[in-house]
Structure 1
Amino acid sequence: MTERKPPGVPFESWVDKQIRDAEARGDFSQLPGAGKPLPGGADTTYDELWWVRQKLAREGFSVLPPTLALRKEAEDALAAAYAAPSERIVRKIITEVNVKIREMMYKPPPGPPLGKKPYDVEDVVREWRERRAGDGSGGTAGPGGPVGPGGSGV
């Protein structure tokens, strides 16, 4: 659309002609979302930062205060620890998140309070063992952790 509007032609009719010509050529037929309703619907109020929110969602970026982000990370770490294949990995996951929780406890950031204390690694390992015994995976926890497939104790 490098063509310039000719002098003396009303802008609106020139734009309408450009759109009609593009439709006739099929320029709009392969656009993503063609024939689908606009996201958000007509019942939502106008948000001037809609594009920022969509970009953040697409990129998987979260704009949570640091304490809330750490709470979420701690919950995710606990779930990952319960799903871990060995006791060694459970201890590693919980120890790493505990370091972050302790740092946040000692130098609180702005925002809501953390409301979380470090996990007791032994309690999490005990719970992990109970869950493993309950689901029939048969892992026994010794000093090196349960022996996984391949006998490596991973």
Structure 2
Amino acid sequence: MERPTYESPVERAIREAQERGEFDDLPGAGKPLDLRGTDDPMWWVRRLAEREQLDFSGALSPALALRKEAAGFPDSLVELRTEDSVRAVLDDFNDRVLRDRLRPLGARATQVLAPTVDVDALVEQWRVLREEAEPGPEPTSAVEAPRRRRWWHLRRH
């Protein structure tokens, strides 16, 4: 006597969808799977983040987020217009680093520290980047372009 096989609700839904042909024209059908980098235990998370263009920076610990922010200096400061605003951003960063160091440790956690930044050195690097980014004055030509006539000059009677 043959035992009836149990089909879970999920298996039944998949089988019925296959019978209806809902899986027939999926993207990548008939192509081999891309298994590059699957030796990394987090490969699927990295692929998901890349495919969906997700930003996981909010999942970082505060110290790692601060380290990531510091890695972007001075390039992230180029858009600031004044030295005072650059100093304010860097002083705020150093204050947040010092506050993070006062955070109590978890039960079995090791503390990762973010370093403070040298404000004067980064301000100097910002100056150099700003000078490189600013376009120089446009060269003036010896011949001036003719003046454009306005439309109302055409309506003379």
- Structure 1 length normalisation: TM-score? 0.51
Instruction: Work out whether 1:105 is the aligned partner of 2:104.
Output: no
Assess, with a 3 A threshold, how the Cα gap between structure 1 residues 118 and 102 changes in structure 2: closer, same or farther. farther
SS where residue 96 of structure 1 aligns?
helix
Shift, 1:134, TM fit? 3.4
Which of 19, 22, 26 aligns to 1:27? It is: 22
Tell me the distance in 2 between the aligned counterparts of 1:105 and 1:116: 10
1:150 is matched with none
8 Å CA contact 1:98, 1:118 repeated in 2: yes
Shift, 1:129, TM fit? 1.3
Identity of aligned residues (%): 31
Task: Provide structure 2 residue ranges, at least 5 long, that are not aligned to the other structure.
Answer: 137-157
8 Å CA contact 1:84, 1:90 repeated in 2: no
Task: Provide structure 1 residue ranges, at least 5 long, that are not aligned to the other structure.
Answer: 1-7, 139-154
- Structure 2 length normalisation: TM-score? 0.50
Counterpart AA for 2:118: Y
Shift, 1:86, TM fit? 0.9
Instruction: Work out whether 1:73 is the aligned partner of 2:69.
Output: yes
Tell me the distance in 2 between the aligned counterparts of 1:85 and 1:38: 46
Aligned residues: 122
Tell me the distance in 1 between the aligned counterparts of 2:37 and 2:75: 39
1:96 is matched with 92
Tell me the distance in 2 between the aligned counterparts of 1:125 and 1:56: 38
Assess, with a 3 A threshold, how the Cα gap between structure 1 residues 107 and 24 changes in structure 2: closer, same or farther. closer
Instruction: Work out whether 1:86 is the aligned partner of 2:64.
Output: no
Tell me the distance in 2 between the aligned counterparts of 1:102 and 1:43: 39
1:61 is matched with 56
2:115 is matched with 116
Assess, with a 3 A threshold, how the Cα gap between structure 1 residues 36 and 54 changes in structure 2: closer, same or farther. farther
SS where residue 34 of structure 1 aligns?
coil
Q: Deviations over 1:27-58 (max 9, x none)?
A: 1134344344445469648x6x877x469835
